[in-house]
């Protein structure tokens, strides 16, 4: 309940005035958030949160404030509208609007997606027997999205006999999905409709039994249900209830088709249960009970489960165990632990084992013939690149499909013959508008942190770039959850590079680029390394004259937005401008509130602030708690009203506090998508417009207007 006792001089009338004025005058003052102090004390530390009231989503004043900020942002960026449109047309002009994906063979069918010019979403299709057969449209997302400002597909699962389709949709951005089942013979939907699901649905081999997960009030997937086609979802049988709030539950299906796997995972531990896919009414059995700090992941081949685990192996090792006795005491080593090589994933085929590894910051693919035990690695032509396995649904095949790209080489899909070692390019992303990769170059450099760690930076720029300190440079970063920000290709970013930008990715600790220890050195009580690594990368880029502080722009989203906030508090003098997308910045308050989605499961990432040591450490870097009365660079902050991962109020509160305390006249903008969630706009054209807006902000702040 809002208390009038603490209202500032800003009344609702003044707020309304700002909203109206913004639509007429681009030189208005920004909205000023009213102050309603909320005081909390923990470990004898008093925290005053003046903007706690912004959490009240149902309060019209909150919505009015967000709209006022949006109107102010629109007014302040009005002079760039023509430039935004130019950037948008450039971005769209590089893509092949009417296109199709490389078809994937599964059984007698070839499955693919295609896009049509002017349409926001993909169309799912297939052909039977050969690529010359007639096309069958399975699902047109453009039709499903009609009448919705937001639309997202969750799962798309074809039944083993290829006659049924289970798919799910979300029309708010809140990542809560409804499952529908379609008869692909008749094109009609069954009456079965399953609400409140997440990203996990799998068919049993009888083609009538579905398993799916549902969400609790904190948006945690925690229950597994079994559904029989034709029956009411309300009668579905509860198979498993994960009561530990640190664990997420999902269901997957082995490529062999032999088993369904129920995966239970926290940030640091996991547990797998298995079920014969031919016997959906049986009970799931456990492979190995969970143990804190131990992760393991399983797949199936013949009489064995293949399991990769970090048990006494920080970077993971590979073992196997009989399907009838899969417990740890029966595990037998397949690939031993290697200190400098991390196992990211495995892919099992009838005669081959594929292991996706990472060494010295680069991904590699290891192929083993299971009959001869001969091992080889697939070679790649560039020193800095990204490679990953594509959808490989066929078990009995010699062909491995993978995607290769670099900062200059467009996304390329290959079929690789694991016997002959020959590769066939099936599709390369077509970049329109005269893109010539020979005009650009990429490299990897290393910045030395204060503790001696060598932090990689991947760069791409025009070949005629001169290191004189005058180049604009966009430095991107993430550095959390062990996720790797690999050097992938995007035609979009050439709207910056062709205007003289250097595009750089800082592979900082907290990410997984350099192995599991790299991640461990940037989490919990080591989290500060993430931020100081990023600052080190910025300083190195300046010292080596790639750029200068008045030409350096930084950008990051979600946990990367936390990175932006921390870096801006610690070294605002280093940067000309920053873009923080859906930033996780209110770390203390969020991690103290177990009702917020993801909070409890992330204690193992950030620490539990109900413990004094973690409370003090988290507070020492939490961006919202460390805003000070000093000068900050130009900042654009984005949010999604329906975001379940980073609640909209985090960026809103951060913006309000920055406005109240910062001592400069630099631009501070908050742009909230009032009909979307964590990922922003769902349609591809709407997404391109959002990117064009962000690029226009960066370029405008650097004085580049054409």
Dihedral pair phi/psi, residue 91, rounded to 5°: -60, -50
Q: Quick one: which of 449, 466, 446 has its CA closest to 457?
A: 446
Q: Is 558 a catalytic residue?
A: yes
State the DSSP H helix or E strand holding residue 454, giving kind and residue range, or none if neither: strand 454-462
Q: 237-268: string of b/e by CB count within 10 Å (b at 16+)?
A: eebbebeebbbbbbbbbbbbebbbbbbbbbbb
Q: What is the mean pLDDT of residues 369-388?
A: 96
According to the 3-state scheme, what is the secondary structure of 192-253?
A: EEEEEEEEEEEECCCCCEEEEEEECCCCCEEEEEEEECCCCHHHCEEEEECCCCCCEEEEEE
What is the spatial distance between Cα 566 and Cα 553, in angstroms, rounded to a whole number? Answer: 15
- Note whether 561 and 478 are within 8 A (CB): no
The 10s digit of each residue's pLDDT in 301-323 is: 999 999 999 999 999 999 999 99
Coil, helix or strand for 638?
strand
Q: Please compute the mean of the pLDDT values over residues 37-45 and round it to a whole number.
A: 97
C-alpha separations of 457 from 343, 433, 444, 470, 478 in Å: 22, 28, 6, 19, 12
Residue 473 pLDDT > 70: yes
Interaxial angle between packed helices 60-76 and 12-22, expressed in degrees from 0 to 180 and rounded to the nearest 10: 30
Q: What is the pLDDT of residue 482?
A: 97
User: What number is the average pLDDT over the span 695-701?
Assistant: 98
What gap in Å lies between CA 684 and CA 92, rounded to an integer? Answer: 10
DSSP letter for 116, please.
-
Q: How many CA atoms lie within 13 A of 492 on its CB side?
A: 15
Q: What distance in Å separates the CA atoms of residue 75 and residue 81, rounded to the nearest whole number?
A: 10
User: What pLDDT is attached to residue 191?
Assistant: 94
Smallest Cα–Cα separation from 169: which of 142, 182, 151? 151
pLDDT for 670 beyond 60: yes
The residue behind tokens 């893509």 is 95
Q: What's the gap between Cα 161 and its chain centre?
A: 32
Question: So what's the pLDDT on residue 135?
Answer: 98
Active site residue 122: no
Residue 680 zone, left/alpha/beta (φ > 0; ψ -120 to 50; rest): left
Confirm if 272 and 262 have CB atoms less than 8 A apart. Answer: yes
Q: For residue range 1-38, what is the model confidence (pLDDT) as tens digits?
A: 233 333 333 333 333 333 333 333 446 789 999 999 99
Looking at residue 27, its pLDDT comes to: 61
Q: What is the mean pLDDT of residues 170-183?
A: 97
Q: How far is CA 237 from the centre of its chain?
A: 32
Residue 706 — very low, low, confident or very high, per pLDDT cuts 50/70/90? confident
| Structure confidence at residue 598 (pLDDT) | 87
pLDDT at residue number 309: 98
Q: State yes or no: pLDDT of 615 exceeds 90.
A: yes
What is the phi/psi pair of residue 312, to 5°?
Answer: 55, 35
Q: Which entry of 152, 168, 558, 622 is annotated as an active-site residue?
A: 558
pLDDT category of residue 90 using cuts at 50, 70 and 90: very high
Tokens of 71: 């109107």
- Please compute the mean of the pLDDT values over residues 608-635 and round it to a whole number: 98
Task: Let me know: does 113 contact 123? Beta carbons within 8 Å.
Answer: yes
Task: Identify the burial level of 685 via C-beta atoms within 10 angstroms of its C-beta, where 0-12 means exposed, 13-18 middle and 19 or more buried.
Answer: middle
Percentage of residues in the chain having pLDDT higher than 90:
95
300 vs 281: CA distance, rounded Å: 20
Residue 565 predicted with pLDDT over 90: yes
Give the angle subtended at the CA of 368 by the CAs of 364 and 370, to the nearest 5°: 155
| Residue in the structure block whose two tokens are 């992330």 | 602
Catalytic residue among 122, 643, 682, 700: 643
Of 533, 678, 682, 700, the catalytic one is 678
Q: What is the pLDDT of residue 499?
A: 98
Please, which residues have CB within 8 angstroms of residue 498's CB and are 6 or more apart in sequence?
462
pLDDT in tens, 206-258: 999 999 999 999 999 999 999 999 999 999 999 999 999 999 999 999 999 99
DSSP string computed for 648-698: THHHHHHHHHHHHH--S---EEEEEETT-BTTB--SHHHHHHHHHHHHHHH
Tell me how far apart the 2 most distant CA atoms of the chain are, in Å: 79
Asked if 398 and 417 touch (Cβ cutoff 8 Å), the reply is yes
Average pLDDT over residues 372-377: 98
Three-class DSSP category at 563: helix
Q: H/E element holding 87?
A: helix 81-94
Summary mean pLDDT of the chain = 95
User: In 3D, which of 307, 305, 352 has the Cα closest to residue 325?
Assistant: 305
Distance in angstroms (rounded) separating the CA atoms of residues 475 and 505: 6
Average pLDDT (187-202) is: 96
Residue 678 is a catalytic residue? yes
* pTM of the full structure: 0.94
Report the candidate in 592, 671, 503 with the shortest Cα–Cα distance to residue 42.
592
Give me the pLDDT at residue 645, please.
Answer: 95
């Amino acid at each position: 309940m809002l208390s009038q006792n603490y209202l500032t001089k800003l009344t609702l009338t003044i707020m309304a005035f700002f909203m109206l004025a913004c639509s007429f005058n681009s030189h208005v003052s920004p909205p000023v958030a009213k102050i309603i102090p909320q005081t909390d004390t923990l470990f004898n530390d008093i925290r005053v949160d003046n903007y706690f009231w912004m959490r009240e989503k149902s309060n019209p004043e909150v919505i009015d404030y967000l709209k006022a900020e949006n109107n102010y942002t629109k007014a302040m960026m009005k002079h760039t509208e023509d430039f935004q449109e130019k950037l948008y047309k450039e971005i769209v002009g590089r893509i092949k609007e009417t296109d199709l994906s490389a078809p994937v063979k599964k059984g007698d069918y070839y499955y693919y997606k295609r896009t049509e010019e002017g349409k926001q979403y993909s169309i799912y299709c297939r052909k039977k027997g050969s690529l010359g057969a007639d096309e069958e449209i399975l699902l047109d997302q453009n039709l499903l999205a009609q009448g919705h400002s937001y639309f997202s597909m969750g799962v798309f699962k074809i039944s083993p006999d290829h006659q049924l389709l289970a798919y799910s949709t979300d029309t708010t951005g809140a990542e809560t999905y409804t499952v529908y089942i379609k008869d692909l013979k008749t094109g009609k939907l069954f009456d079965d409709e399953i609400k409140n699901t997440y990203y996990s649905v799998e068919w049993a081999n009888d083609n009538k039994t579905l398993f799916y997960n549902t969400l609790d009030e904190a948006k945690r997937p925690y229950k597994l249900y079994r559904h029989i086609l034709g029956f009411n979802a309300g009668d579905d049988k509860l198979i498993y209830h994960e009561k530990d709030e640190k664990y997420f539950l999902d269901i997957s299906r082995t490529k062999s088709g032999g088993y369904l796997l129920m995966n239970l995972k926290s940030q640091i531990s996991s547990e797998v249960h298995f079920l014969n896919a031919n016997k959906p009414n049986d009970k799931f059995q456990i492979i190995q009970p969970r143990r804190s700090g131990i992760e393991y992941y399983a797949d199936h081949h013949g009489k064995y489960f293949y399991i990769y685990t970090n048990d006494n192996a920080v970077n993971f090792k590979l073992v196997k165990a009989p399907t009838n006795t899969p417990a740890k005491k029966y595990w037998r080593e397949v690939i031993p632990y290697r200190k400098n090589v991390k196992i990211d994933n495995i892919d099992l085929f009838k005669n081959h084992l594929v292991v996706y590894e990472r060494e010295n910051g680069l991904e590699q693919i290891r192929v083993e013939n299971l009959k001869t035990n001969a091992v080889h690695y697939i070679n790649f032509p560039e020193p800095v690149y990204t490679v990953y396995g594509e959808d490989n649904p066929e078990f009995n095949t010699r062909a491995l499909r993978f995607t290769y790209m670099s900062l200059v080489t467009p996304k390329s899909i290959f079929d690789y013959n694991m016997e002959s070692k020959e590769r066939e390019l099936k599709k390369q992303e077509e970049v329109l508008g005269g893109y010539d990769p020979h005009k650009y170059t990429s490299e990897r450099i290393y910045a030395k942190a204060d503790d001696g760690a060598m932090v990689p930076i991947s760069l791409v720029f025009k070949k005629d770039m001169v290191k004189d300190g005058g180049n604009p440079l966009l430095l991107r970063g993430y550095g959390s959850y062990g996720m790797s920000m690999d050097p992938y290709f995007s035609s979009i970013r050439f709207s910056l590079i062709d205007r003289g930008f250097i595009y750089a990715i800082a592979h900082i600790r907290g990410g997984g680029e350099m192995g599991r220890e790299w991640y461990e050195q940037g989490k919990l009580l080591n989290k500060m390394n993430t931020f100081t690594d990023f600052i080190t990368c910025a300083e190195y880029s300046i010292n080596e004259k790639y750029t200068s502080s008045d030409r350096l722009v930084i950008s990051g989203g979600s946990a990367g937005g936390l990175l932006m906030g921390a870096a801006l508090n610690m070294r605002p003098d280093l940067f000309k401008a920053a873009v923080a997308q859906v930033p996780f910045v209110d770390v203390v308050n969020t991690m103290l509130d177990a009702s917020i989605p993801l909070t409890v499961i992330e204690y193992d990432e950030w620490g539990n602030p109900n413990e004094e040591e973690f409370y003090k450490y988290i507070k020492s870097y939490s961006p919202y708690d460390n805003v000070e009365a000093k000068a900050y660079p130009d900042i654009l902050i984005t949010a999604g009203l329906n975001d379940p991962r980073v609640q909209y109020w985090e960026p809103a509160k951060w913006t309000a506090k920055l406005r109240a305390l910062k001592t400069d006249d630099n631009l501070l903008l908050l742009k909230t998508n009032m009909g979307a969630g964590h990922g922003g706009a769902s349609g591809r054209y709407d997404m391109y417009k959002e990117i064009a807006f962000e690029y226009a902000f960066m370029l405008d702040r650097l004085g580049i207007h054409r």
